[in-house]
Homo-oligomer: A and B are copies of this chain.
Amino acid sequence: MSGTPLTQDAFDQLFLQAHTHNAWQNKPVADELLHHLYGSLRMAPTSMNSNPARIVFVKSREAKEKLIPALMEGNRAKTMAAPVTAIIGHDTRFYDMLPKLFPPIPNARDMFAGNAALADITAFRNGTLQGAYLILAARALGLDCGPMSGFDNVAVDQLFFAGTSIKSNFICSIGYGDPKGIYPRNPRLDFAEACSIA
């Protein structure tokens, strides 16, 4: 596959014409599509194949009503209206899965098990990478996304991850967006403001 770019339409769908969505069509997202979504995003790279992301797809009214009070006021109504809101978290004890996930280094677990700072930053960095993969895999599937970090992480951890080593990172509504809810595009940084070639 080396060397062949995707079509302009694909770039538009993934990056150039895609927008964060704030309003949603009344069209459900099948569980099967969420399985496809995870089946795609999980193949993208993480450090030592650590795969620390743990995702709750909040879909039922009951689970939505549990989540909503932990969100910033401005994020509540639109989250209630979304077909699915994914809570992207990461397991700070991801290393317990390394014997399965990273057979090339049989003692990989030990690098992290005794070093909480390394485990935490590895979980956060790679769980965040996987959250970005989720956004782009959803767009690739024809879904729209509304990612948010305006919520009370501690509250969400208590509500959804109590008694586990999983910490919430950000949340992302998923569905078929209503273009009427799109905000105007904000400017981006120019290449020279953000990048250099050395």
Q: Report A's interface with B, CB cutoff 8 A.
A: 1-7, 10-18, 20, 25, 31, 34-35, 38-45, 47, 49, 51, 53-60, 63, 97, 100-104, 122, 124-125, 128-133, 135-137, 140-145, 147, 149, 160, 169-170, 176-177, 183, 186-189, 191, 193-198
Contacts and interface: CB of A to CB of B under 8 A. Distances in A.
A31 B129 contact: no
B189 A51 contact: yes
A14 B40 CA distance: 9
A11 B140 contact: yes
Chain A facing B: main interface SS: mixed
Contact of A142 (B1, B63, B193): B1
Given A6-B10, A51-B188, A129-B131, A40 B16 contact: yes
9 contacts: A14-B137, A18-B44, A39-B191, A54-B194, A55-B195, A59-B198, A101-B189, A124-B124, A129-B129
A31 B197 contact: yes
Contacts of A16: 40, 43
B13 A1 contact: yes
Given A40-B11, A186-B103, A197-B59, A5 B191 contact: no
A81 to B, nearest CB: 15
Contact of A2 (B5, B11, B25, B104): B25
A44 B25 contact: no
A118 B193 CA distance: 23
A186 B102 contact: yes
Contacts of A128: 124-125, 128-129, 132
A97 to B, nearest CB: 7
A140 B10 contact: yes
Given A5-B140, A18-B43, A45-B145, 10 more contacts: A3-B176, A44-B136, A45-B135, A56-B198, A102-B186, A125-B149, A128-B128, A129-B132, A131-B132, A136-B136
